Structure formats: structure tokens, C-alpha cells
Amino acid sequence: MQIGVLTSGGDSPGMNAALRTVAVVGIARGHRVIGIRRGYEGLLAADTVELSLAEVEGISRYGGTVLGSARSKEFPTPAGQAKAKQRVAELGLDALVVIGGNGSITGGHLLGEGRPCQIVGLPASIDNDIGHCGLAIGVDTAVNTIVEACDRISDTARAHRRAFLVEVMGRQSGFLAMRAGIAAEADAIVYGEQGDCGEDALVEELSAVLDRCFAPDRKKQRALIVKAEGVPVSSAVLAARLQKHLDEHHPGIDVRETVLGHVVRGGNPSALDRMIAQRLAFGAVLAVEQGAHDVMLGWDVPDDFGQATPDSFVRMVTIPEMLTETERLLDGTSPVVQRRIGLLEKVKDILAL
Ligand code: F6P
């Protein structure tokens, strides 16, 4: 078979490991593997490279994606869709493996209408906002990067007895803030899934956390607040208002804000991310051979949703099922998010001890 593969949307560490595995497993099983550069932009432009063994040797260890990525504006339009289908036919693709986040896999779902070729999605996004997927490719590395950054920040914070507000990526998803915040011994974790309580209530809540951290009878040397990007109050505004509170109630203590931004998305993938990418990609080639279409493979799928595959950690779900669950993850109604929030609520009051 002729299998196309592309990486699309925000890159994530481990995409290269997934690309290499699709190529190596595909070639080993007698297929031709065609890499498409710059995501759907490259598909529209028929910008391709045959992925030989030499082409993919040694790439698993690198962050980013050797094929490049893009957020295509043309592809979702009706004209873009028609052109993409035409390119699939011209390139003679029997299947397309889409490595990316929920937007990119949605793109695959749209392209797959009328089955111009089989579509198999592999979840790759640091945001971990993809339904029916325990850990997407790149999440583990991003969490580790945030924890390392918070550890460094804590060193300097303790040297000055300061408070720090650290904002992490994740778009609407608070997963990175939640997981990394706990690992980094944050005193408070703020995420959007709780619902918008309003700026004043948030400032009040965090001021109370700072009061506890810097109470006169305490020797605590730093306060760390980890805030998800999706919280609808800017870190600059929040930091300024917390500084006002500190000036009034704990004179001499400063708050600094750090927005980690794209630092969190780069870097060499962790061993876990490489392994997740490799096992999902192996599953993708097998799924293609079985004739699967409009599906996504998920790692450690909560509640064992979907169909079993030969790998007990990898399950197959349809892309429409994934999209429905993604919506519920983002609006906070998914039991998966409810469980996460429930756990954090239980420990909320002891974080700042
Ligand atoms: O979806 C991944 C992500 O890194 C989000 O966490 C972030 O909001 C967004 O992409 C940033 O996008 P861009 O790289 O286009 O600025």
C-alpha cells in the first residue's frame, strides 16, 4: 500500500518518533511511505518526500517535526477540501496517517468524507485535550519541561522570598497546569475547567493563598501559583493585583510572573513520549492494513473506551467519537475532567501548607 503521513497543527515532542515508526514499520511490512511536508499546506501543494529508512534514521530523539507543520487556512474551505481530495488521488495514497491535535484530526475526518483514502489519526498535542486518549504524544515531555522550569524558578524565588505566577500553555485545557503544578509543589493551581468565577473572586482566592504562605509565623520562602493559559484573566493583570495585596499585607514581598510559552512545546521528547509515539504509530500501520478508516488510536484510553488492538495500551476509536468526547473535555462535562477536578479540589487546601 502507499501510506501518506503528515504532522499538522502545533508540533509536539515525539512527533518525529511517530514519523519514524510509521516509516520503518510500513517499509518492513512492504508498504511505501510518503511524508507530506508542512501538514495540510503541503498536501495542497503536493510537497512530499518518500520516507526511506535513511531519511528517518535517528530522528526519534528530536523535538519539533522533520516534516514541518502548519495551521492551514485554505484546507478547511470547500475549495481546499476539494483540492486536498484531488491531491490524495494524484499522489495515489491508499491511506493517510494524520499526526496532530484535535483540529488536525478533525481535518482528517473532513478529508475522509467519501473515503478518498483511509484516514488514521494519531493524537499529538501538548495540551492533552483530545478525547479518548489518556496521554497524547508530547504531553509527558511538556510536563517535565514545566516542572524543570518551576524548579528553577523556585530556586530564585526562595533566594528572595518571593511569589511567582507561572503561566503554562494548554489552550483551553488545564491538564499541563494540573499535572505539572502538583509535581512542582505549587501552592495553587488555576485552570479554566472550573468555570469562570470572575477576576475579583480569583484575586481574592489567590490572595488568601499568599496570606497562608507568608503568614508571620511561617518561614515559607516561596509561593508558586501555576496558571493555565485558558484562565480568562491575563497573568500580567493577576500579578499586578496580587502585588497590590502583598504590598498592603506583606510589605517587602514581591510577586513575579513568568509566561513559559513555546518553551514548553520544544525540546527532545522524553522516553515515555517516544514510546507512546512508537506504539501508536505501529498500531496505525496495522490499522491501515485492516482497512480502518476515520479512526484515531489512543494511548491508555480512559474507561477502556473503543476497540482493542494487539497492544493492550492502545485502543481504536472513531474520529466522531473522539470529537464528541473532546467537546466534553473542553466544556468540563466529561467524567474524565470531573475526576481530575475532584482530585484537585480534595487537596486544594493543603497545597499551600
Ligand atoms: O495546541 C498547542 C499550543 O501550543 C497551545 O498550547 C497554544 O495555545 C497554541 O498551540 C499556540 O499556538 P501557536 O504556536 O500557533 O502560537
What distance, in Å, lies between the first and last C-alpha atoms of the chain?
59
Sheet holding 255-259, edge to edge: 188-190, 222-228, 162-168, 255-259
Q: Which residues line ligand 1 (CB under 6 A)?
A: 10, 101, 125-127, 169-171, 229, 265
Parallel/antiparallel/unpaired status of strands 314-318 and 295-299? antiparallel
Per-residue pLDDT tens for 86-121?
999 999 999 999 999 999 999 999 999 999 999 999
**Positions in the chain whose pLDDT score sits under 70:** none
Q: Among the options 11, 127, 129, 187, which is catalytic?
A: 127
Nearest atom, ligand 1, residue 173 CA: 6
Mutate which of 7, 171, 262 for ligand 1? The one with the most ligand atoms within 8 Å of its CB, which is: 171
What is residue 351's predicted lDDT score, i.e. its pLDDT?
Answer: 92
Look-up: residue for cell 483530545? Answer: 130
- Pocket probe mutation, ligand 1, options 169, 173, 326, max atoms within 8 Å of Cβ: 169
CA of 171 to the centre of ligand 1 (A): 7
Segment holding 99, helix H or strand E: strand 95-100
Return the pLDDT at 227: 98
Q: What integer pLDDT is reported at residue 195 of this predicted model? A: 85
* Interval between CA 26 and ligand 1 midpoint (Å): 30
- For the chain, domains (ranges, CATH) are 2-138+269-330 (3.40.50.450), 141-266 (3.40.50.460)
pLDDT for the residue 353: 79
Please list, in sequence order, all residues whose beta carbon lies within 8 angstroms of the beta carbon of residue 210, skipping any fewer than 6 positions away.
Answer: 163, 223, 242, 245, 246, 250, 255
Distance between CA atoms of residues 77 and 40, nearest Å? 12
Residues in the chain: 353
Distance from residue 262's CA to the centre of ligand 1 (Å): 8
DSSP state, residue 3: E
Cell, residue 316: 481504536
pTM score, two decimals? Answer: 0.97
Q: Tens digit of pLDDT for each residue in 74-84?
A: 999 999 999 99
Q: How far is CA 199 from CA 208, 209, 304, in A?
A: 14, 15, 38
| Set of cell numbers at residue 210 | 499568599
